[in-house]
Amino acid sequence: MELEALASRKFTKYRAYVRLHPQLRHCTTLEQCAKVAGELVDNYIDNSLIWQELNWYKEHGSILGKHPAFAEFRRRKELNSLPVKELVKRQRQVEMNIWRVKSELAKGDKPHLDATRRERLAGYEKERADIVRLLE
């Protein structure tokens, strides 16, 4: 199941990379070029990590587990095993983390950390959605 999800992500990342590559040549501002180049590199790196996982599985018949998606899979399994009381507690923690990351992004004082912060925010929002789904 994890490999199927990883393969699906590989197609998504590859298509995004192919879509962004021509845009890099048609940039009109430095900010636009930086944004497109950043997304292009992120998609390329993620695509390469997925490729590494799939090749490892092909050669060894086991999962390497270095891709960040596997941490997400482990987190979901952990959430499924928690009792309701712990889920509610974790939901409050995650909502505080979301608020903290959003306030850090709103300050705009460290733009070099924005990509990491957006990534953390997306992870927290996914976790919150999983918790809400489990609590319903």
Domain ranges of the chain: 1-64, 82-136
- Residue 113: pLDDT band with limits 50, 70, 90: confident
Query: Using CA atoms, how far apart are residues 33 and 28, in angstroms rounded to an integer?
Result: 7
- Residue 112: pLDDT band with limits 50, 70, 90: confident
Say if residue 1's pLDDT is above 80: no
In this predicted structure, what is the pLDDT of residue 93?
96
Query: What contacts 41, CB < 8 A, 6 or more positions away?
Result: none
The mean pLDDT of 90-98, rounded to a whole number, is 95
In this predicted structure, what is the pLDDT of residue 106?
92
